[in-house]
Amino acid sequence: MTRSKVFVTRTIPAAGLDLIRAACDVDLWPDELPPPRAALIERVRGVDGLLCLLTDPVDAAVMDAAGPGLRVISNHAVGFDNIDVAAATARGIPVGNTPGILTDATADFAFALLMAAARRVAEGDRFVRAGRWRTWGPELLLGPDVHGATLGLIGFGRIGQAVARRAAGFEMRILYFDPTAPAADPALRAEAVNLETLLREADFVSLHVPLTPQTRGLLNRETLALMKPGAILINTARGPVVDPAALAEALREGRLFAAALDVTDPEPIPPDSPLLTLDNCLIVPHIASASIATRRKMSLMAAQNLIAGLQGEPLPHCVNPEAYR
């Protein structure tokens, strides 16, 4: 029996890669950086399946280069804004993602960023390493309290709610804005409000929405201006949800106390980005889900989606079930 041919666009944790290798003939892109577009187009020709990352734009041209044999696209991420899902659906190709398993790791990290931005952890570390720590100072590196503050969650799906559970331990008042969220668990004691109320009242605003045409640029010059003076913005969702120029302006002018970004627009952040010049902007390289166990589970789930698609079975986690109709 001939084995399916798949292209895997980067080395993923062994748990998932071994599963794929046991079932398929694998062409693996070995570099640390993603395949450039021309290479992606070249390497997908004639494959039955594609396992890609959030760094790989997979559009109609990529699908057409693969040809009519392409039976499944499996994204090694919960977000799938890198894939033209409508184009996949039109071609009857199911697209898989990795929901659920990275919820807690991402919520842990959003809270780590929130704490670090408020209590100036990265700045403190830079201060010490620069040899500037001369004495204990009554007004050295002061920041706002986290406990008892108001947290505004934009997006109240799995990850937003997991952040709310952590915030409850810090006795925070929790507001959320999410027109699509089902009724919240009353145990969370979270209050649904409109976007303007959330921005005006929250001391911390944390983003947990997917990137869609509706959320692109949601935090822009106008909406950032509604934020409470001295508030802190945390983004572990997708970079383009925030306008970087408007954010830099709000941080430079001291209207916001700080921002903590796991994601930027674009990624990686350009070396000349004004955000990199600001001490009150903490930036890390899209690592919110990067716990060892979580990345292992993501690789397994992505592999299971890929193999199910190749075998003509429904994907365990499919973002476009309408592709089967």
Binding interface with ligand DGY (CB under 6 A): 54, 77-79, 102, 289
Q: In what order do the strands lie in the sheet with 49-52?
A: 24-28, 4-8, 49-52, 72-75, 95-96
Q: Name which of 48 and 265 has its Cβ closer to ligand DGY.
A: 265
* Shortest separation between residue 81's beta carbon and ligand DGY, angstroms: 8
* Shortest separation between residue 302's beta carbon and ligand DGY, angstroms: 10
Residue 240 CB coordination number (10 Å): 18
> Has 286 been annotated as catalytic?
yes
* Shortest separation between residue 182's beta carbon and ligand DGY, angstroms: 21
**Catalytically annotated residue among 191, 201, 249, 267:** 267
Q: Name which of 289 and 305 has its Cβ closer to ligand DGY.
A: 289
* Shortest separation between residue 216's beta carbon and ligand DGY, angstroms: 16
> Has 238 been annotated as catalytic?
yes
> Has 267 been annotated as catalytic?
yes
Residue owning tokens 């020709």: 45
Q: Measuring CA to CA, which residue among 4, 1, 2 is closest to residue 313?
A: 4
Q: Name which of 54 and 269 has its Cβ closer to ligand DGY.
A: 54
* Shortest separation between residue 213's beta carbon and ligand DGY, angstroms: 18
Residue 67 region, left (φ>0) first, then alpha (ψ -120 to 50), else beta? left
- Interatomic CA distance for residues 308 and 313, integer angstroms: 5
DSSP 7-51: EESS---HHHHHHHHHHEEEEE--SSSPPPHHHHHHHHTT-SEEE
Q: Name which of 16 and 143 has its Cβ closer to ligand DGY.
A: 16
Angle 150-157-146 from CA coordinates, rounded to 5°: 20
Q: Are 322 and 101 in contact (CB under 8 A)?
A: no
**Catalytically annotated residue among 238, 253, 255, 313:** 238
**Catalytically annotated residue among 208, 286, 295, 317:** 286
Q: What's the burial of 246, exposed, middle or buried (CB within 10 Å: 0-12/13-18/19+)? A: middle
Cα four-point dihedral sign 49, 55, 59, 65: negative
CA–centroid distance for 135 within its chain: 39
* Shortest separation between residue 153's beta carbon and ligand DGY, angstroms: 17
- Interatomic CA distance for residues 252 and 19, integer angstroms: 49
Q: Name which of 116 and 288 has its Cβ closer to ligand DGY.
A: 288
Q: Name which of 104 and 203 has its Cβ closer to ligand DGY.
A: 104
Active site residues: 238, 267, 286
